[in-house]
Amino acid sequence: MKRKVLFPGSFDPFTLGHDDIVKRALGLFDEVVIAVGYNEQKTGWKPVEERVASIKKVYADEPRVRVESYTGLTVDFVKEKGATAIVRGVRTMADFEYEMQLADVNRQLTGIETILLPASPQYASISSSIVRELAHFHHDISTFLP
């Protein structure tokens, strides 16, 4: 049986830090589903279809990566996709506290485990919100994107 992991996030935009987590998750699982979560009440910086399309381009030559959008509870989407776990990245203590709570609730609700990968030092300070801020002020953001 193929071992599939879900990597959920907003990916608005998808950065080198996210790409690093995907590549490392491919070393642990047979397949990675990048799940772009969206909220019907709140449109992001880029529309969700645009985010999905640009992430698909990044992994055009990697058949073990799939990219999909979803709304609602992440654990429901994990089950829908037949994944066995969730993977998330941790950059800071604040990330860690948040991710611990999420992981605990998700495991209690469904038994689905979350694997937390520590951010690689060279990408640890990259966040989608900083990239959006730079773009807003017309800075070149290409060095932060895969």
Q: Which residues bind ligand ADP (CB under 6 A)?
A: 9-11, 15, 17-18, 20-21, 88-89, 91, 95, 119, 123-124, 126-128
Nearest-10 Cα torsion for 22, 24, 28, 30 = 40
Residue 91 annotated as catalytic: yes
Is residue 132 a contact partner of residue 22, using CB atoms and an 8 Å limit? Answer: no
Q: Which is nearer to ligand ADP, 1 or 132 (CB)?
A: 132
**Residue 18 annotated in active site:** yes
Q: Catalytic pick from 4, 18, 51, 88?
A: 18
CA atoms of 69 and 77, how far apart (whole Å): 10
Name which of 10 and 106 has its Cβ closer to ligand ADP. 10
128 is a catalytic site residue: yes
In order, the DSSP letters of 30-86 are SEEEEEEE-BTTB--SS-HHHHHHHHHHHTTT-TTEEEEEE-S-HHHHHHHHT-SEE
The reply to whether 56 belongs to the active site is no
The nearer residue to ligand ADP, 1 or 106, going by C-beta atoms, is 106
SS3 call for 126: coil
- We find the least distance from the C-beta atom of residue 64 to ligand ADP, in angstroms, to be 19
| Least distance from ligand ADP to the Cβ atom of residue 87, Å | 8
Query: Catalytic site residues?
Result: 18, 42, 91, 128
